[in-house]
Structure 1
Amino acid sequence: MKGLNLAYLQSFVAVVEHGSFSAAAERLQLTQPAVSLQVRQLERTLGAPLVERIGRKAQPTAAGMELLNHVGQIQDAVASAVAAVRSRTKGVAGRVRIGTGATACIFLLPPILKGLRKKYPALEITVVTGNTAEIAKALDENTIDIALVTMPLSGRMFDITPVLDDEFVLIAPADMPLPARITPAVLSDKPVILYEPSGNTRRISDNWFLRDGITLKPVMSLGSVEAIKELVRVGLGCAILPRMAVRDQEARRDLTIRSLTPKLHRKLAVVIRRDKRLEAGLGHTLAALKAIGSQS
């Protein structure tokens, strides 16, 4: 079917429906020779005669009848394709794949996704989680479209926009005795629970201790911020977590939440490939993620 011309197919259908080339030409607002030429070109493309004259009436051949049996499906498929393309240009639809860390997924993304869903109900959004290295690899391989990750991250193919400085805090059981200033030395003899060691968030915590010459050996390492909070709550140790992960705990009395001395932050950035085509849905998602800092 290579080279099948839809205009030629339309001329063929009109000839059969009206029983003559001249009537088809009038219906299509073409000249009769133009319609005849289009039908001949279609016959050459398919390698079979499609129309024969019986008396003064043009009728389909056996091959023409076979083609007519498929015309409706062809027209429906074309109409569906055109509608799908127009939905991309007239409205916001399609798919956007976001990669981020588990903490940001839980504590930052929900209101953003809710807002996008409300404004653009036809937009399909999928979210995958992982550490910065895993998300960067997925972004590089184009298995995701956009990322919200913990810095540092580098790469000439990436457009990187820092959006949020997230403070780290200590959380501890309410009955754990603590001084006013929480320094690395204060925590060096405490049972400390940290993130698993594979990601940037853990490296940031480790470097905070190393600046005071302390190599901390945590009592436990976990990949889930919610699991870490529960372990602290039952008294198994204290933990260093992003403040965004404990905002809903600050009014409760079962945990102590303290800033660190010196202050410790991580920087979150929105990352996208420089060569990524910004269709409408991805463009709106990018704008929403870049606005995180102004909303926090």
Structure 2
Amino acid sequence: MKNLNLDYLESFAVVIDSGSFSAAAEQLQLTQPAVSLQVRQLERSLNATLIERVGRRARPTAAGAALLSHAHQINAAVSSAVDAVAQQTTGTAGRVRLGTGATACIFLLPPILRELRAAMPSLEITVTTGNTAEIARAVEDNTIDIALVTLPVSGRSFEVAPVMNDEFVLIAPREMKLPARITPEVLASRPVLLFEPGGNTRRTADEWLARGGVSLKPLMSLGSVEAIKEMVRAGLGCAVLPGMAVPAKPRQHDLIVRSLSPKLYRRLAVVIRRDKRLDRGLRQTLAALKALTAAKNDGR
């Protein structure tokens, strides 16, 4: 190990993954000359050429490919060693800073966090809520480790893994007369409550209405799904909400729950920085969130 600098190894792997020194420099938050120097130093220490240019793309040589095949194992072994030391010195499994929307925080995360706590009682978990843009900026700034947000989200430094579809539904007071099919035209003639503007959830609903030729001015715009449901229960109007927030069979018989026509979904994804070092707690959290794919990907 004396000739293998782990920082240089990471720079090499990111260059290959991104395809260029400039893209790697952006992800690593280094200058391009610094990344080039680290790769040259790594090549010098191993006495081998590791990268070659094919057109405009940086690709591994045979020696580089051989090293790359071991890089993930090396990083995993180092992370495991660091975790082991941390547990001996601090007695903790680490800290995870998770960001998500308020709806997912209330209706999706509790069982996931319960299982994580059962598996790692000493794991410190903090949860921040906000819209996709706010949470994505926090991941980019490294003030949040991992996010579960509504697509779309973009960023060259992000790894984005879609995990589930969440079907939107209409909820209405029991006394509201509704046709069998809930189309945008139906909502145009009724008082409607929507999420406040600015987030992907509201934008998804607005786009669905626009595709149906409806430009709707909602009776109210609120930032809380629970507040919206209470307003509907009070008879103020109907609302379009993510399905995860509404039981398929409400325990109280004061709400009508209907699918929309055409059906409408939002897609949730896990977002993390590509260069994020995964300690034990973060690895477990990432795996738990990605497991939503198998459990929820068929919609509601």
Distance in 2 (alpha carbons) for counterparts of 1:88 and 1:222: 47
Equivalent residue of 1:231, what SS? helix
Equivalent residue of 2:139, what SS? helix
Aligned to 2:94: 94
Note if contact 1:92-1:281 (Cα within 8 Å) is conserved in structure 2: no
What's the Cα RMSD here? 2.0
TM-score (norm 2): 0.69
Aligned to 2:227: 227
Q: What's the CA shift string for 1:4-34, capped at 9, x where partnerless?
A: xxxxxxxxxxxxxxxxxxxxxxxxxxxxxxx
Aligned to 2:188: 188
Runs of at least 4 residues off by over 4 Å: 88-92
Matched, 1:152 2:152: yes
Aligned to 1:170: 170
* Structure 1 position 85, deviation (Å): 3.0
* Structure 1 position 222, deviation (Å): 0.4
Distance in 1 (alpha carbons) for counterparts of 2:158 and 2:280: 20
From the superposition, tell whether residues 89 and 115 of structure 1 become closer, same or farther in structure 2 (CA, over 3 Å): farther
Distance in 1 (alpha carbons) for counterparts of 2:264 and 2:92: 40
* Letter in structure 2 aligned against 1:182: I
Distance in 1 (alpha carbons) for counterparts of 2:210 and 2:83: 59
Aligned to 1:75: none
The number of equivalent residue pairs is: 215
After superposition, residues 121-132 of structure 1 pair within 5 angstroms as 121-132=121-132
* Letter in structure 1 aligned against 2:237: G
* Structure 1 position 251, deviation (Å): 4.2
Q: What's the CA shift string for 1:135-181, capped at 9, x where partnerless?
A: 00000000000000000111111000000000000000000000000
Distance in 1 (alpha carbons) for counterparts of 2:109 and 2:86: 29
* Letter in structure 1 aligned against 2:270: V
Distance in 2 (alpha carbons) for counterparts of 1:190 and 1:199: 23
Distance in 2 (alpha carbons) for counterparts of 1:264 and 1:248: 16
* Structure 1 position 84, deviation (Å): 8.5
* Structure 1 position 252, deviation (Å): 3.0
Note if contact 2:87-2:93 (Cα within 8 Å) is conserved in structure 1: yes
* Structure 1 position 265, deviation (Å): 0.2
Q: What's the CA shift string for 1:33-77, capped at 9, x where partnerless?
A: xxxxxxxxxxxxxxxxxxxxxxxxxxxxxxxxxxxxxxxxxxxxx
Aligned to 1:275: 275
Note if contact 2:86-2:93 (Cα within 8 Å) is conserved in structure 1: no
From the superposition, tell whether residues 122 and 267 of structure 1 become closer, same or farther in structure 2 (CA, over 3 Å): same
* Letter in structure 1 aligned against 2:119: K
Note if contact 1:195-1:224 (Cα within 8 Å) is conserved in structure 2: yes
* Structure 1 position 247, deviation (Å): 1.2
From the superposition, tell whether residues 83 and 180 of structure 1 become closer, same or farther in structure 2 (CA, over 3 Å): closer
* Structure 1 position 90, deviation (Å): 11
Distance in 2 (alpha carbons) for counterparts of 1:88 and 1:183: 59
Task: Name the % identity.
Answer: 67
* Structure 1 position 96, deviation (Å): 0.3
From the superposition, tell whether residues 174 and 88 of structure 1 become closer, same or farther in structure 2 (CA, over 3 Å): farther
User: 5+ residue gaps in structure 1?
Assistant: 1-81
Equivalent residue of 1:247, what SS? coil
* Structure 1 position 250, deviation (Å): 2.7
Distance in 1 (alpha carbons) for counterparts of 2:274 and 2:146: 11
Distance in 2 (alpha carbons) for counterparts of 1:113 and 1:86: 22
* Letter in structure 1 aligned against 2:277: R
Note if contact 1:93-1:124 (Cα within 8 Å) is conserved in structure 2: yes
Aligned to 1:214: 214
Bigger mean CA offset, 240-249 vs 89-98: 89-98
Note if contact 1:195-1:221 (Cα within 8 Å) is conserved in structure 2: yes
* Structure 1 position 88, deviation (Å): 6.8
Note if contact 1:117-1:123 (Cα within 8 Å) is conserved in structure 2: yes
Matched, 1:204 2:204: yes
* Structure 1 position 263, deviation (Å): 0.3
Distance in 1 (alpha carbons) for counterparts of 2:225 and 2:88: 38
* Structure 1 position 245, deviation (Å): 0.2
Note if contact 1:88-1:94 (Cα within 8 Å) is conserved in structure 2: no
* Letter in structure 2 aligned against 1:281: G
Q: What's the CA shift string for 1:156-210, capped at 9, x where partnerless?
A: 1100000000000000000000000000000001000000001000000000010
TM-score (norm 1): 0.70
From the superposition, tell whether residues 281 and 154 of structure 1 become closer, same or farther in structure 2 (CA, over 3 Å): same
Distance in 2 (alpha carbons) for counterparts of 1:83 and 1:243: 38
Aligned to 1:46: none
Equivalent residue of 2:144, what SS? coil
